[in-house]
Structure 1
């Protein structure tokens, strides 16, 4: 390799995060470099062309990811999901800015809202907790939800809050597709018991305002209740927004508050039923994104050793989540463990090839090169 080639190989384009995709700019010319060196210019043009090709591939990957995430999570997106990048963020009282590897959570930052209203106050003071076994509280006091099937009725209704759930669906889910002749009578009794529990002060014969009848269906009025699912979504969104603004202390508080709402598997009593399972999958995906966001926040704050310990457990439990692996390798590198960071990336690459037959994402491949060359952008 000539000296000129060696010099050119070290002039890797610097990554810059912009409008959701990684862009590249040419590095500043070193002191003493010749401005009239035509071969050098030609080589740089070749590198720029190669990087532009990689950028186009990354944008196509981002668009595909956007569609798959939106479909899986039931979200409406009116702007692209930003890709992985190395973003400059000031953390804590650090004097110098450091680069933090980050992705934006689905629906967490730009132009995404859930379809169900999330009231801040409810006239009836009814709150449902479904991030674990189903619970309900009225005016701050937990109420008895009765027998297992009655609790399952409530869980099914909460999973579709604001939307009617037909009697036929309730019967099918409660009795596994084979309801006995007495099933409809039992369902009416469950609904009547729940109405009394949720509105203990409702006058006789006054229409229910929380658990309403809609034709041959029932619904929970979203204007009259609060659900911990919505509070978790709000906290996770606030965490990603704070991290995006460069406020990791606020981000950590928001992520911690949101994750503290989880008490186990969402909708535990009915998690496997046909109509609730998709919502359980959606919420679990958002929970994992929030955990990854929290770990990205720890890295931004300079708490690399803590991030390493948490990401070690996370990646062991979820070995195919590429963003978790990306964060883990970055935390290891920041903690002074370059060899471990590279070993982790290469083990992940081998696992992806053996189990899925695919290569790592462009983001992971880029990070491996950056770590290998101890790029200043990694901090």
Structure 2
């Protein structure tokens, strides 16, 4: 089976979509997918499914959701045989699935490999790897447990990794020496979407400057500076200021770290 949590929860068995059940049953499965292979207590599942005001019969409801998920995950398991995929252990419930069957785990591996290729100067391969990683996303991460503390933490962490993947992808595309005018035309959308993300501004300024659009690169810096001042009351970081100075002087510029 494959489990997709980088967007609304989706489950496939041999490539065929499987209905993971009601909203609360989906929350149970999502909570288990936060830490596959590790015990999740009944208390943690309760908090994930009912962040506020759990019902009086909470354990009966949990047992029902777990039983339904067991039938979903092991449809051909013989009656009265031991559960192997969703097990009850002394410390809680354990979802025993292969790590790469979860898109979030696969995303992290592809991101790591893409960054390694980028650092090795293999820009085209890095670009393809990072594109594959980002293609796994269909929405926000773990939305079924967004009100659960551990779910919210995981979603925040993966969103940061998603931005890191985007930054590395555009760095790889710039380093490939593609048509920089095309790259420079596409990067502004990211700087508008994430105006305080200095790395995107760095990449945009570099693309504009390399395309012979020095004045626009300077304007891009000033937009970022104003946004940072208005949002956080701070100046751009040292890297962006140094890049700005190089552009003003007309110096050659290196990549963004």
CA distance 1:241–1:224, shift in 2 (3 Å):
closer
* TM-aligned CA deviation for residue 297 of structure 1: 1.1
Secondary structure of the structure 1 residue equivalent to 2:93: strand
Cα distance change of structure 1 residues 155 and 377 upon mapping to structure 2, 3 Å threshold = same
Indicate if the aligned counterparts of 2:188 and 2:204 stay in contact, CA closer than 8 A. yes
2:65 paired residue number: 190
Correspondence 1:160-309 to 2 at 5 A: 160-215=35-90, 217-223=92-98, 226-303=101-178, 304-309=180-185
Do residues 370 (structure 1) and 246 (structure 2) align?
yes
CA spacing shift, 1:135–1:332, aligned 2, 3 Å? same
Q: Distance in 2 between matches of 1:134 and 1:147?
A: 11
State whether residues 51 and 147 of structure 2, in contact with CA within 8 Å, keep that contact through their aligned partners in structure 1: no
Matched residue SS, 1:219: strand
RMSD after superposition? 1.7
Partner SS state of residue 101, structure 2? strand
Match of 2:28 among 144, 153, 160: 153
**How far 1:326 sits from its partner (Å)?**
0.7
The residue that corresponds to 1:134 in the other structure is: 9
Asked if residue 332 in structure 1 is aligned to residue 228 in structure 2, the reply is no
Match of 1:312?
188
- Aligned match for 1:360, one of 236, 240, 246: 236
Deviations 1:194-219 (A, max 9, x none): 01111112111221111111226212
The Cα of 1:222 is off from its aligned counterpart by 4.5
Q: Report the TM-score when normalising by structure 2.
A: 0.93
- Cα gap change, 1:332 to 1:176, in 2 (>3 Å): same
Structure with the higher helix share, 1 or 2: 2
1:277 partner SS: helix
CA drift at 1:225:
6.6
Deviations along 1:36-86, one digit per CA (max 9) or x if unpaired, are xxxxxxxxxxxxxxxxxxxxxxxxxxxxxxxxxxxxxxxxxxxxxxxxxxx
Q: Could you tell which deviates more after superposition, 320-329 or 269-278?
A: 269-278
CA contact 1:271–1:277 (8 Å) conserved in 2: yes
Instruction: Assess if the C-alpha contact under 8 Å between 2:40 and 2:93 holds in 1.
Output: yes
Alpha-carbon distance in 1 for matches of 2:224, 2:103 = 35
Task: Output aligned runs, 1:7-86, within 5 Å.
Answer: none
Flag the 1:235–1:221 CA change in 2: closer, same or farther, 3 A.
Answer: same
Contact 1:210 1:224 in 2 (8 A): no
Three-state SS of the structure 2 residue aligned to 1:261 is coil
TM-score by length of 1: 0.64
Task: Measure, in 2, the Cα distance between the counterparts of 1:288 and 1:340.
Answer: 24
The alpha carbon displacement at 1:135 in A equals: 1.2
Structure (1 or 2) with the larger CA radius of gyration: 1
Q: Distance in 2 between matches of 1:166 and 1:365?
A: 49
- Length, aligned pairs only: 254
For the Cα contact (< 8 Å) 1:338–1:371, is it kept in 2? yes
2:218/2:247 contact within 8 Å kept: yes
Q: CA 1:220/1:306 → structure 2, altered by over 3 Å: closer, same or farther?
A: farther
For the 8 Å contact 1:133–1:263, the answer to whether it is kept is yes
Q: Provide, for residues 258-290 of structure 1, a one-character-per-residue CA deviation record: whole Å limited to 9, x for no partner.
A: 111001111122223222000000000000111
State whether residues 174 and 207 of structure 2, in contact with CA within 8 Å, keep that contact through their aligned partners in structure 1. Answer: yes
SS in 2 for 1:256: helix
- Give the superposition deviation at 1:378: 4.6
